[in-house]
Structure 1
């Protein structure tokens, strides 16, 4: 009888421990594109260092290379029946993400149920990229807390929120008035009404539908931003009031987490040896991200302009990124020879390490948010050549708010390219831009250290996750 009671008491203690066990597993769900995977993995590293277990749910097409090497302790699982890489290549990142949101809910639900079955009910929260909104619906159905990560700027998110409340048909008609185009949006200075228009990803109807669905299906209890209040104070204040749920500016995440992120491909480290031989702040680094495509005419004008600037340049040219060209070997012989003599071409570069190299004095960029943050953190001014509406907002901030960038608008011509490089690297104007860039860098360093705003926001997020 005593033995039986003792055994029952042991079982009860196990049940009690199970019921009171702290749920400390975070499930991360990134969009299958490098620019979204990178900050999500950096967030995972920051939360891992705070004591959470991290599980990353991947699709078949976005598996992180060498995950155990870069993120020891993380668990990586692949969604069953997720869309293959061939579909990503066929559809492009925007349409692929659209398709995932239409088809991925059942597969993701099965994946989460399996995790719960195999590992116990230890999931504290599902953190999903704002553009993977089907994850919020699954989390709600399974009664799991969920939080959203915005990998773009807070200002861009504010622009989308503001736009969602407009009468679109009326707005499009009114936008024919030039005065309205340049009017500043209320409480969102310096955002103008023309900056609210989506562009760069295809027909506006599809973009508007996607935005509407993302907002309509939002169930998150909080929103994380990869930004710092010192960079986007107006937008952060507006969002705090507008969203009605806690907002946590944790950025820049790559220094909050002391992690460079992850890569879907290997970097060419030979460029660091090339940079080691150059004078301090003499090199212009050129990279337009992992998705953007360029016309061959524009690339040739860039090549001539870079060479005519008489400054050394490190240029990332992704395979397939130049329409009609396979790479530098497809350039006219004269241009190819000139570029090889004055610059260094790679398919991929370790961007954070490059921007932090003392030889780099400027960054020609598409102004994606990751690249923008990485450049500011290293105190490197920028030449801005954006492709999409989000990148155009970032470029506007770089030039007009932070005053550390030069925009190249309209047709790219070699003379304008050469002048922009000289303004950024050697002219008197470059001194002021460099000083302002270094000042911003110091503010960001303060933000992520003890007592800083991003540092404190991370602690607040941890407490929020533990309460969920």
Structure 2
């Protein structure tokens, strides 16, 4: 680890699995560059501090009713609540940290992009703010285009126009726009706009991606934002995401994978939030069973109404677990395809490990990610969910990947991307250089930070 004394960074993650993982992985990367790490976090989904003895953790109240079983899955309401209720407690905590003379001065704040209110806090306390966007650059560019999309009538999304192409954002269609089903779409629009505007005013923007994968989207953002942008992924290659998992891993699936033929297994996981209906569960079960291929299926508790994830009929051909060590699974030689919701972490992990995808996006940026996987990078096949899942469609998607020439071509392209993901991490690679640039950039902010320490509070 490099020695850079007197450089403390404060990180503030959004308390969802797909956001906590990359933020704490980023913390590990920055710590390896010699920075001291302090994490401010909500009581809801608080990280396990014992996994990070070299970090300092400070909880803040969030006023969430954690006994409400619908609360974690109602993303729109959860985001609205957190961005409203956390500003005061966060500012109070950060101010106390600034006054703590026994600790190192704060070099800068690194916050999740969705916590847009932290820009105002950083300006009031005169602490430079750098933003981590945990999604891809491709979807963030679409969020940045929301005012234009609204002006042109693409937003709010209308059912009659779902298949219409968005010529200005090719190859996206209206159905691919990163929205969430909500009774108040205007509030969602305001959240996205606030996220983008606050990011434009910050001191830098970090992405868990790499240059060769999203160069076009990154170049567009650099042109529009006029701030330093640092693509320093894939994060999971620097540290295991299992440390920050909010759900215990079932390691027995690895020994099951050890008994399967190379490249034969379909790995199925829809992430930590997305849920499916009972009829969808039945069609997925029959589609997997009829495919004739072994499968590893992650079914979280309560993710399917009336199903506990321990279906004995299914386990005759496959393995069902409540949560899996995903990176270890994707890197296993027996895994030949990943049926995914296309969350960004899952997408990037699949690309990094060279596993072709069956894409079934559920909401928000997953739809953009899926379109890029299938139509831009061409390393996966799309499985439409909007018109209902059907076991025959599932079998055809599996057949396309495993048995047809299209699948062979997809695998070749995926192996090429995997190689690029590996090369970017090596000395001289784009991510290697970008990490060094980020560390230097943080150090360049020190004069503003230290003068602020004397004039604030």
5+ unaligned residues in a row in structure 1: which ranges? 1-20, 330-335
Deviations 1:313-332 (A, max 9, x none): 00000011113x13245xxx
Alignment match of 1:464 (pick from 407, 420, 441): 441
Report the Cα distance in structure 2 between the residues aligned to 1:30 and 1:180, rounded to whole angstroms.
35
Alignment match of 1:369 (pick from 329, 341, 344): 344
- Residue 66 (structure 2) pairs with residue 56 (structure 1): no
Alignment match of 2:235 (pick from 238, 253, 260): 253
- Residue 325 (structure 2) pairs with residue 350 (structure 1): yes
1:199–1:81 Cα change, 3 Å: closer
2:28 maps to which residue? 45
1:176–1:75 Cα change, 3 Å: closer
1:200–1:394 Cα change, 3 Å: farther
1:81–1:34 Cα change, 3 Å: closer
Alignment of 1:142-157 (within 5 A): 142-157=125-140
- Residue 418 (structure 2) pairs with residue 436 (structure 1): no
1:88–1:177 Cα change, 3 Å: closer
Report the Cα distance in structure 2 between the residues aligned to 1:441 and 1:371, rounded to whole angstroms.
14
SS of 1:318 mapped into structure 2: coil
SS of 2:365 mapped into structure 1: helix
User: In terms of mean alpha carbon deviation, does 99-108 or 345-354 score higher?
Assistant: 99-108
1:176–1:322 Cα change, 3 Å: closer
Two-structure CA RMSD over aligned residues (Å): 2.3
CA contact (8 A) 2:76 2:180 kept: no
Alignment match of 1:72 (pick from 13, 29, 53): 53
**Which structure has the larger Rg?**
1
Question: TM-score if structure 1 supplies the norm length?
Answer: 0.87
Deviations 1:166-213 (A, max 9, x none): 54484449979969931421xx54345654462345542221121123
Alignment match of 1:416 (pick from 366, 369, 393): 393
5+ unaligned residues in a row in structure 2: which ranges? 446-457
1:130 maps to which residue? 113
CA contact (8 A) 1:152 1:226 kept: yes
2:453 maps to which residue? none
Report the Cα distance in structure 2 between the residues aligned to 1:31 and 1:407, rounded to whole angstroms.
29
Deviations 1:317-367 (A, max 9, x none): 0011113x13245xxxxxx44302011110000000000011100000000
Report the Cα distance in structure 2 between the residues aligned to 1:403 and 1:246, rounded to whole angstroms.
29
Deviations 1:269-312 (A, max 9, x none): 00001111111011000000000111100110000010000000
Report the Cα distance in structure 2 between the residues aligned to 1:440 and 1:310, rounded to whole angstroms.
29
SS of 1:429 mapped into structure 2: helix
1:452–1:181 Cα change, 3 Å: same
Report the Cα distance in structure 1 between the residues aligned to 2:295 and 2:163, rounded to whole angstroms.
40
CA contact (8 A) 1:175 1:181 kept: no
CA contact (8 A) 2:281 2:304 kept: yes
Report the Cα distance in structure 1 between the residues aligned to 2:188 and 2:75, rounded to whole angstroms.
13
Report the Cα distance in structure 1 between the residues aligned to 2:433 and 2:154, rounded to whole angstroms.
39
CA contact (8 A) 2:342 2:366 kept: yes
SS of 1:380 mapped into structure 2: coil
- Residue 81 (structure 2) pairs with residue 106 (structure 1): no
Report the Cα distance in structure 2 between the residues aligned to 1:173 and 1:244, rounded to whole angstroms.
28
Report the Cα distance in structure 1 between the residues aligned to 2:96 and 2:63, rounded to whole angstroms.
15
